[in-house]
């Protein structure tokens, strides 16, 4: 089955530690996205990548970093510079123009808690 796999599903981190969230897709999508969701809030865009070896900052990129070395993979690192990293992180992929039939497919999410 084609889809997006995020891991880990739950993660606990001590303050000051970096942590990397994995996102893998086998949908052959060119574009991949990372969103953050806080309780009772909508999704906010952290980073996105429309092609391998290229990525752009979203609305809340500070304290995060990404890489896109392979089409299938778009890992997100939450660095110690991120002041409030506890949140639900969602990875998504899409193919080209997102209008109409080409919509985003989401992974099941990673829930990060900083202790």
Residues that bind another protein (CB under 8 A): 31, 35, 40-45, 48, 50, 88, 90, 96-100, 103-104, 106-109, 111
Name, in order, each residue with C-beta under 8 angstroms of 61's C-beta and a sequence gap of 6 or more.
Answer: 46, 47
C-alpha span between 24 and 70 (Å, rounded) = 10
Structure tokens at 72: 């299938």
Q: Whole-number minimum distance, CB 86 to another protein, in Å? A: 14
Q: Whole-number minimum distance, CB 42 to another protein, in Å? A: 4
Q: Whole-number minimum distance, CB 36 to another protein, in Å? A: 11
> Is residue 66 within 8 Å of 85, Cβ to Cβ?
no
Is 16 or 40 the residue whose CB approaches another protein more closely? 40
Is 15 or 97 the residue whose CB approaches another protein more closely? 97
Is 1 or 15 the residue whose CB approaches another protein more closely? 1
Is 85 or 107 the residue whose CB approaches another protein more closely? 107
Structure tokens at 63: 């304290």
Q: Whole-number minimum distance, CB 19 to another protein, in Å? A: 20
Q: Given the structure tokens 């080409």, which residue do they identify?
A: 102
Structure tokens at 114: 């900083």
C-alpha span between 12 and 23 (Å, rounded) = 18
């Amino acid at each position: 089955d084609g889809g997006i796999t995020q891991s880990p599903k739950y993660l606990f981190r001590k303050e000051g530690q970096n942590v990397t969230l994995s996102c893998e897709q086998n949908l052959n999508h060119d574009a991949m996205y990372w969103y953050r969701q806080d309780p009772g809030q909508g999704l906010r865009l952290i980073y996105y990548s429309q092609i391998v070896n290229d990525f752009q900052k979203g609305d809340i990129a500070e304290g995060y970093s990404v890489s896109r070395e392979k089409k299938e993979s778009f890992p997100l690192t939450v660095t110690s510079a991120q002041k409030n990293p506890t949140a639900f992180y969602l990875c998504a992929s899409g193919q080209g123009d997102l209008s109409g039939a080409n919509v985003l497919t989401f992974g099941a999410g990673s829930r990060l808690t900083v202790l």
